[in-house]
Amino acid sequence: MPSGPEFVADPYGFYAELRRSRPVHFVRFRNGLYAWLITRYADARLVLSDPRFSKDPGHAPSDWREAGRGKPLEDRSGLGAHLLTFDPPEHTRLRGVVAGFFQRRRLAAKLGGVIEETVEMLLARMATADEVDLIERFAAPMQATVICEMLGIPAAHRADFGRWCDDVVISRGTGGEARVAAMGKLVEYITGIVEEKAAAPGDDVISALADPDGELTRDEVVPMIFLLLVAGYETTINLVGNGMLALMRNPGQLSLLRGRPDLLETAIEELLRYDSVTEFSTWRFTLEPVRIADTVIPAGQPVLVALAAANRDPDAFADPDRLDLQRADNAHLSFGHGVHYCVGAALARLEGRIAIGGLIRAFPEMALAVRPEELEWKSSLTVRGPVRLPVRLRSR
């Protein structure tokens, strides 16, 4: 599996070749983990929804379970079993506890104003600058504010959370030390705030989950909050970063969106498809031999869906390498598919519409301040996006 900076920046040519010649491809990663990689759209939808593919790492082979840091997968997070390592019916129970918080109407009513106020504040702060890093000055602080407001984390701690979340999901060549340290700090903090909210609840998600009379046990609460925080933080940062980069590299489409703000909803879907915020699905494991295309994957094997590859499959999307903000019937897989479809997808979409809409309105001359090939991309099996996004806010 390629891993150099050129591949991380633009993996789409490699994925196109895999779709043509090896749609089910065995890959091995530098940390010793391996997987059967799925690259075609139809096959991806099958794997993401078929009960023959389990989320429980207990079904993985022993050598895979001991790879990487020498610990079983379910222990590497420091969290034990959680929402992403369960199948129905246990997964259904856990998801049902939090799904109500992420209903579209509830989000709009409770967080719509917070998102709009946060975006306007950040736009005003940037207005006097000529050049900014759009991730550092806009996307990251916006998302830290929104996700922490929703969960009930005090404003004073939000900068720490942003740094810890980055270290959890992004490899920085430190051998995993930063990730392990960040995991520990997050778990320690969340454990403490759960105790505080259980004793003195507020009107927030952590208070609801920490309720001693609630549906979750104490051992389930901390992993749930951890996942909501980390997954929610990175996903929306990448939606804003990837989306604005794609628009700036496609000025005709950017001009169209500026003139047609009514296209924002379909534009967000196309930006999600064009450069997926999550490059790969989370792990799955075959419960029995499964034939996909011309390949039989044996039982007990790890499987990854290349969401970014499936989203560029020409059998599913006409002219898939072209950004088309008016694309209809855009059933991309950036948030997954089936029972494990991202529970926070509606929140990410809401934030994306408000954030990107605000940026293109406030800065009509915004342009990339470096050559695209100079951008550094996050090195992660999970998320896809630029580490920094330097932009000029007005023409020279």
Q: What is the pLDDT of residues 289-342, one digit of tens each?
A: 999 999 999 999 999 999 999 999 999 999 999 999 999 889 999 999 999 999
Residues 6+ apart with CB under 8 A from 133: 388, 389, 390, 391
β pairing state of 302-305 and 34-38: parallel
Quote the radius of gyration of the chain (alpha carbons, Å): 21
DSSP state of 239: H
Confidence (pLDDT) at 257:
97
DSSP state of 132: E
Confidence (pLDDT) at 299:
96
Confidence (pLDDT) at 79:
57
Check if the beta carbon of residue 206 is closer than 8 Å to that of residue 197.
yes
And the tokens for 36? Answer: 């059967």
Confidence (pLDDT) at 368:
96
Cα 357 from Cα 344, distance rounded (Å): 20
pLDDT under 50: residue ranges of the chain: 69-78, 172-174
Check if the beta carbon of residue 262 is closer than 8 Å to that of residue 381.
no
Confidence (pLDDT) at 325:
98
Which candidate, 38, 51, 26, 54, places its Cα nearest to that of 285?
Answer: 54
β pairing state of 390-392 and 295-297: unpaired
Cα 44 from Cα 36, distance rounded (Å): 12
Confidence (pLDDT) at 176:
60
353 C-beta neighbours (distance < 10 Å), count? 17
Confidence (pLDDT) at 171:
52
Cα 261 from Cα 282, distance rounded (Å): 34
CA atoms 203, 204, 205, 210: torsion sign: negative
Q: Where in the chain are the domains? A: 5-392
Cα 11 from Cα 279, distance rounded (Å): 10
And the tokens for 126? Answer: 């940037």
Task: Determine the CATH number of domain 5-392.
Answer: 1.10.630.10
